């Protein structure tokens, strides 16, 4: 047997004092039934903590732990309350799972930071602000089932959205009908205005975060549910302009009504005034017109629906 080099000897010594629970075994043999130094973090991942009398974890130890494959999330339990069933989607900063509430048996959607971003406090704060904004008593917003989880652990637990996301709608049927796109934009204007009153600023709404389904009373008036958005909490200082909200709503309407620069689906007499209203909201109008508030965009959408040019 080769004689271990000093670096290898130091590595083995560290592993004797720090149980790497990712593989459940180290050079000193398998751990006891209830080993010391095991704990679950917010995301449910098992992490290593130093055993009493051993060295404190160093950056070297962290690299070892991060180099190991993360255990599969299938069947993972979060604080013995929610059991992950399947992954619904993955975003830039977070991922969404379908989960089962172990207390009530209800199926919910659970949103948490991605593994590589779960130590990023910016992401954690954005999830907390998003949950607080969704918890606002406003129409068209998904129900936040357990607000305490969001405020304490930056995990958003919400009701499962029914219907079809706008992103899926675009994949299946192409551009959204212009009249339907206008109504979706008008609903978003109401949501954004209510959130501004609650001291939140919406900066982006993605097609994957808006679900529609056949209306309860009229098919031409679909039910809409917003399950997420990029939002930040406004401070006590003077409120900023409506530029971010105007661009957020206008960008979504343009993405679903005129995907990839298409001419749109619906009445052509509506297409031109709608494009003009969206250009004004995004600050791209050739005449330099601008909407001062979100109400201006709402009026512009309603005028476009009637085939009238924006004022």
Instruction: Give the pair of three-digit tokens for residue 232.
Output: 């930040």
Which are the contacts of 181, defined by CB distance < 8 A and separation ≥ 6? 253, 256, 257, 264, 274
The CA distance from 133 to 122, in Å, is 16
pLDDT of res. 3: 56
Domain 77-159 has CATH 3.40.50.300: no
Sheet containing 164-165: which strands, arranged edge to edge? Answer: 164-165, 210-213, 223-226
pLDDT above 70 as % of the chain: 71
Query: CATH 1.10.510.10: does it fit domain 164-305?
Result: yes
Per-residue pLDDT at 223: 85
SS3 298: helix
Q: Decide if pLDDT at 41 tops 70.
A: no
User: What does pTM read for this prediction?
Assistant: 0.72
More confident residue, 130 or 219: 130
Query: What pLDDT is stored for residue 37 in this prediction?
Result: 37
Short-list 62, 74, 44, 28, CA closest to 36:
28
Res 99 pLDDT > 60? yes
User: Residue 45 has what pLDDT?
Assistant: 36
Does residue 279 register a pLDDT over 90? yes
Buried b (16+ CB within 10 A) or exposed e, 189-217: bebbbbbbeeebbbeebbbbbbbbeeeee
Query: What pLDDT band is residue 77 in, cutting at 50, 70 and 90?
Result: confident
Q: Which of 139-153, 159-173, 247-261, 263-277 shows the lowest mean pLDDT across its residues?
A: 263-277
Q: CA 249 to CA 136: how far, in whole Å? A: 19
Q: Which residue has the higher pLDDT, 247 or 28?
A: 247
Helix, strand, coil percentages (3-state) for the chain, rounded to 5, are 40, 20, 40
Q: How confident is the model at residue 92 (pLDDT cuts 50, 70, 90)?
A: confident
- CA 211 distance to own-chain centroid: 14
* Model confidence band, residue 267 (pLDDT cutoffs 50, 70, 90): low
R_g (Cα) of the chain, nearest Å: 25
Q: Give the confidence band of 302 by pLDDT, cuts at 50, 70, 90.
A: very high
The domain segmentation of the chain, as residue ranges, is 77-159, 164-305
- 161-181: per-residue pLDDT in tens? 988 999 999 999 888 989 899
Asked if the domains 77-159 and 164-305 are classified in one and the same CATH topology, the answer is: no
Least confident interval from 58-67, 210-219, 232-241, 263-272: 58-67
């Amino acid at each position: 047997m080769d004689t271990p080099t000093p670096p290898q000897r130091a590595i083995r010594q560290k592993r004797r004092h720090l149980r790497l629970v990712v593989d459940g075994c180290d050079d000193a043999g398998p751990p006891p039934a209830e080993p010391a130094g095991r704990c679950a973090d917010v995301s449910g991942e098992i992490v290593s903590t130093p055993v009493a009398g051993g060295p404190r974890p160093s950056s070297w130890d962290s690299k070892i732990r991060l180099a190991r494959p993360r255990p599969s999330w299938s069947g993972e339990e979060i604080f013995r309350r929610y059991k992950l069933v399947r992954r619904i989607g993955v975003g830039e900063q977070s991922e969404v799972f379908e989960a089962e509430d172990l207390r009530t048996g209800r199926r919910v959607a659970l949103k948490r930071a991605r593994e590589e971003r779960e130590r990023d406090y910016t992401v954690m704060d954005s999830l907390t602000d998003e949950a607080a904004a969704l918890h606002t008593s406003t129409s068209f917003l998904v129900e936040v089932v357990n607000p305490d989880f969001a405020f304490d652990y930056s995990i958003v637990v919400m009701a499962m959205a029914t219907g079809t996301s706008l992103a899926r709608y675009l994949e299946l049927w192409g551009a959204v009908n212009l009249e339907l796109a206008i109504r979706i934009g008008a609903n978003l204007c109401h949501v954004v205005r209510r959130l501004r009153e609650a001291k939140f600023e919406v900066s982006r709404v993605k097609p994957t975060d808006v679900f529609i389904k056949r209306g309860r009373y009229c098919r031409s008036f679909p039910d809409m549910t917003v399950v997420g958005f990029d939002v930040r909490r406004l401070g006590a200082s003077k409120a900023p302009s409506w530029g971010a909200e105007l661009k957020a709503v206008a960008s979504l309407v343009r993405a679903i009504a005129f995907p990839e620069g298409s001419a749109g689906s619906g009445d052509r007499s509506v297409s031109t005034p709608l494009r003009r209203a969206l250009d004004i909201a995004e600050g791209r109008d050739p005449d330099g017109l601008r909407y001062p508030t979100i109400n201006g965009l709402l009026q512009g959408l309603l005028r476009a629906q009637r085939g009238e040019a924006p004022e």
